[in-house]
Amino acid sequence: MASSTTPSPVLKRPVKIACVQLATGPDKTANLRRAADKVREAAATGAKIVVLPECFNSPYGCDYFPSYAETLLPSPPTPAQSPSFHALSAMARDNGVYLIGGSIPEVATTTTTSPSTGQAETKQTYYNTSLTFSPTGALLATHRKVHLFDISIPGRITFRESDVLSPGNKVTLVELPEYGLVGVAICYDVRFPELATIAARRGCFALVYPGAFNLTTGPLHWRLLGRARAVDNQLYVALCSPARDLSAGYHAWGHSLVVDPMAEVLVEAGEEETIVVAELDGEKIEEARKGIPLRNQRRFDVYPDMLPPTSWRLWQSTCGQKTV
């Protein structure tokens, strides 16, 4: 057991996290209003970190991305360019919470001059983008989904985000000054352990994934991947889905959950609209890392192509033993 006086270098104090498993539909204004109601409900539980699901302001599907897309850059956008940006900022500020605002379809417009004709050419690029706001309503971070959801399981599901979307290109870490660092990524990103491990090595206490698995992959992989990323990295993982709507084109799995650093599922929703809340405690992280000291047992001599970053030293120092 970690001593109760041992401070965690990655999570400064306990904090409650709430995942809002939102019921969404085709009406963006109604989705934003409903999200505001549910974020208020989530904050009333004492949660200081609130998470919304992937594509919480629109239906999920390639046919919808362009028509729902909002302009986010240059930041801050005007309310006309991005009503969702302003609604999320207000939700965070009004409730004094860190808000990991699910994701929304984003459009970025670039104008270039054609070298052959000299004419101005306008290009629109679409992303699946998550915005995180501080308790004062300030934008803290933007994550564009890095791994696009392109799958084909014959007779079950074919989805090709890359037909419409472009990928993001960074690991997103968000500093919450009272608590520590959180890694934010979106849905399919959870299948890529590299992204999670880099975030963990850089000192995150939690990985948060707004997501929307489906009725084919959800039952097999959603919980498994949440637990896998938690046990790989000995930190908390939160997955936040929309509620299931069988009248929609895409049937979300639901089952928003929070997993602890020993891979125990602390809370898990069913398929309906609800809010799941869990307390995250740095001692549990230290306890897991002390009991199973993976950090001191890595064999970078065997896998030198995965050399640790400098900040790996923070991770090492939490066990106070070998340095890399």
Q: Which active-site residues does the annotation give?
A: 54, 145, 187
Task: Give the residue, chosen from 179, 213, 236, 315, that forms a contact with ligand LQR7VSFR under the rule CB under 6 A.
Answer: 213
DSSP-derived secondary structure letter, 306: G
Smallest gap, in angstroms, from Cβ of residue 151 to ligand LQR7VSFR? Answer: 7
How far apart CA 193 and CA 185 sit, in angstroms, is 12
From 207, 212, 231, 237, residue interacting with ligand LQR7VSFR (rule: CB under 6 A): 212
Whole-number minimum distance, CB 88 to ligand LQR7VSFR, in Å?
20
CB of 163 to ligand LQR7VSFR, least distance (A): 14
Helices in the chain by DSSP H: which ranges? 28-44, 65-68, 83-95, 193-201, 223-233, 282-291, 312-317
Q: Determine phi and psi for 41, rounding to 5 degrees.
A: -60, -40
- Which residue's Cβ lies closest to ligand LQR7VSFR? 217
β-strands 150-153, 120-133: how paired?
unpaired
Q: Which region, judged by CB under 6 A, interacts with ligand LQR7VSFR, from 17-25, 183-191, 198-206, 231-239?
A: 183-191
Sketch the per residue contact string, 121 through 160, with ligand LQR7VSFR: x for CB under 6 A, - otherwise. Answer: ----------------------------x-----------
Of 4 and 152, nearer to ligand LQR7VSFR (C-beta) is: 152
209 binds ligand LQR7VSFR (CB under 6 A): no
* Range list of H helices, 19-173: 28-44, 65-68, 83-95
Q: Report in angstroms how near the CB of residue 220 gets to ligand LQR7VSFR at its nearest.
A: 9
- Choose one: 14-22, 102-110, 209-217, 296-304; the region binding ligand LQR7VSFR (CB under 6 A): 209-217
255 Rama sector, left if φ>0, alpha if ψ -120 to 50, beta otherwise: left
CA distances from 241 to 4, 186, 268, 300, 324 (A): 34, 11, 11, 36, 38
Which of 12, 86, 191, 290 contacts ligand LQR7VSFR by CB under 6 A?
A: 191
CB 92 within 8 A of CB 45: no
Helix (H, G, I), strand (E, B) or coil at 31: helix
Contact 94, 40 (CB under 8 A): yes
- Smallest separation (angstroms) from ligand LQR7VSFR to the CB of 263: 19
Residues that bind ligand LQR7VSFR (CB under 6 A): 149, 187-188, 191, 212-214, 217, 221
